[in-house]
Each structure stands twice: as structure tokens, then as C-alpha cells.
Amino acid sequence: MNEFRIAIVNSSSFGQVFPKHIERLEKLGEVAHFTFDSEIGGKELAQELQGYNLIVASVTPFFTEEFFEHKDELRLITRHGIGYNNIDLVAAKKHNTLVSIVPALVERDAVAENNITNLLSVMRMTVQSQDRVKADRWEDRAEFVGHTLYGKTVGVIGVGNTGSGVAETLRQGFRCQVLGCDPNKSAMELAQFGAKKVELDELLEKADVICLCASLTDSSLHMIDKEQVAKMKDHVYLSNSARGALVVEEAIVEGLASGKIAGFATDVLEVEPGRKDHPYLAFDNALVTPHTSAYTMECLEEMGNKCVTDCERIAEGLLPGRAVQAESIFVTA
């Protein structure tokens, strides 16, 4: 078995909770951790990672065409997650680099659960009311009369892996009428999860609550802008557990300021990591969590296992599971 050099890039969780994942990688070769600015240039990133032929990658930085043009032999980028929009797949394929992801089902329940958890926290003003208790102001409790999720009309944008879990839970657990918008799913597929298939405009006009669960693509980038917010019901609630760039942040801020949006919960931002001066944080009815929807012990263990196994399979001359463009690349030890 060849010795490899493995880079853990921009992951704050891989190997931290489960050291056994690092121990398994160390049997393959040298392991090093790197943290880069999310906007680092491709050439600079390639220079920093010279000599590393296996990469365990987070949602940032961006592995661009420029990166692959300047990178020496890179066998694999295994994503510590299910998305790969930060990797230029065409360039990776051209340079014989495999890209693999975690199977969607590994994250499904954890991310769907957190989308609803954050949503409920906003609708019931959980954080604000706890802050009053900490300030020894229990008597202020009448200020925290929230809204129930039960029986609401909820629109789920993107009824794939996570979205189907959200739809299922809302329909079966909260007795919601669920409207689903997903161009890649048929009405029959959505009905399996308790959702009625509708177009985006109808969802925006009818939903009391909107859950964003779509993948980030060229067509979904900034899909919720000022025009789309204007079409929503007054005092709508939104929860985003997918990608921050699905929304135009300025449109959300304006909606919060005007009261059009009654509450906004998001686990993701367009530029991560977020900082304390982010405009969302000026609003008490906005909840921002640091991209932790997949952060359950069960989910992180399986995600780490998948990334390590991918590296082990490359070392053995085998294709990793869930390789995004595996059909075009022949891997040898």
C-alpha cells in the first residue's frame, strides 16, 4: 500500500469528536489540518496543498479550475458533507481527481430535524424568553406569545433528501398542509412524503411557513429575492438549512425590518464563517446558527467513517462510494 499525504481542509469537526477517524487515516500516511480563508485564490490554495494527494474537504474553500491547473497529483477530494458546489467537477475530471460525497441519507434526519428545530425556536421566541430568565425577568413572559406550527400551511422548497424529511415530519407530526416545490420531483413522488406539488409562486402566496431545503445550483442561486419576498404572505416564517446563497440577504433583511417576515431561522450564510456584525443579527426575530444542522454525534460519526473509507479505498486501488464522476476515471494504486 502506497503512503499518502492527507489534508483535512476547513473542517472544524472532522477528527475532533471521533479521533478514531484520524487514527485510521494515519495508517495511510501523513495527516495535516489546514484552515484557509473561504475566498482564497485557486493558485494559492494549490501551492499551500502541494504534495497532498487526498483531501477531506468542508463547504469552503472553493476548488476552482485555477486550483486544479496548479495542483500536483491529487487523487481524491472527499467531501465531509453531501454538497459539492465548492468543487469544479469539470476541472476535477480533467485532472483525474475523484470527488466523492457523503450519502444523502447519512445527513437526512439530522438536517431536517434542525430545520424544524430552528423554525420552532423562532416561532415560539425560545431564545429571547430564555434570555429574560437569565436576566432575572421571569415576569416578562407575556411578551413571548408565539405562534404554533401545528396545522399551518408550510411550503418546502426542494423536496429531495432533506426536504422530504422536513415534509414528512411536518405532515405526520404537526398535521401541516405541506406544499412542495421541486422541478425534479413528480407529484406522485412528493405525495409519498405528504406534500402537494405546486409551482414556486403558488407556494409563496399560500404558505404561512417556508422551509428552504434546495441544493445550490445556477438556477437556484438567489432564488428568493425582493420580488419573491413581496409575493409571500404577510408575517411569514422562513427556515433555511440548505445554503445561504439561496436567498438574497438584503431581501431577507428588508423583510424582517418591514415585518413582512415574522421570523427567519438560518443555519447557513452566503459567506461563511459569519461574524457578529452580520445584518441578520440586528433582529431579535432572526436566529443564526453556525452551519451545525448535521452536528449530531450519530451523523458526524457516519460522515467521518465515509470520508475515511473513501481514502482507504483509494489506497487499495478501488473507487470510493458516491463518487460524483467515477465513471470517467480509472483509479490505480
Assess whether pLDDT exceeds 50 at residue 1: no
What is the rounded CA–CA span in Å between residue 208 and residue 155? 8
User: Which residue among the candidates 75, 79, 108, 243 is catalytic per the annotation?
Assistant: 243
What is the identity of the amino acid at 14? F
pLDDT in tens, 8-20: 999 989 998 999 9
- The predicted model gives 33-41 an average pLDDT of 95
User: Which residue among the candidates 291, 302, 313, 322 is catalytic per the annotation?
Assistant: 291
Q: Is 57 exposed, middle or buried (0-12, 13-18, 19+ CB in 10 A)?
A: buried
In the chain, pLDDT over 90 holds for what percent of residues?
Answer: 90
Residue 3: predicted pLDDT: 83
pLDDT in tens, 164-217: 999 999 999 999 999 999 999 999 999 999 999 999 999 999 999 999 999 999
Residues in the chain: 333
Residue 28: predicted pLDDT: 97
Residue 322: predicted pLDDT: 84
Q: For this structure, is 250 an active site residue? A: no
In which order are the strands placed within the sheet that holds 209-212? 195-197, 177-181, 153-157, 209-212, 236-240, 261-266, 286-288
- The predicted model gives 297-314 an average pLDDT of 96
User: Which residue among the candidates 202, 272, 278, 301 is catalytic per the annotation?
Assistant: 272
Q: At 122, is the pLDDT very low, low, confident or very high (cuts 50, 70, 90)?
A: very high
Q: Is 178 exposed, middle or buried (0-12, 13-18, 19+ CB in 10 A)?
A: buried
Residue 57: predicted pLDDT: 97
What is the rounded CA–CA span in Å between residue 221 and residue 215? 9
Assess whether pLDDT exceeds 60 at residue 333: no
The CA–CA distances, whole Å, from 161 to 117, 197, 214, 238, 246 equal: 17, 16, 9, 19, 17
Q: At 326, is the pLDDT very low, low, confident or very high (cuts 50, 70, 90)?
A: very low
Q: How many CB atoms lie within 10 A of CB 119?
A: 26
- The predicted model gives 25-38 an average pLDDT of 96
Assess whether pLDDT exceeds 60 at residue 330: no
Assess whether pLDDT exceeds 50 at residue 238: yes
Q: For this structure, is 272 an active site residue? A: yes
Residue 324: predicted pLDDT: 86
Residue 108: predicted pLDDT: 94
Residue 282: predicted pLDDT: 98
Residue 2: predicted pLDDT: 59
Residue 213: predicted pLDDT: 98
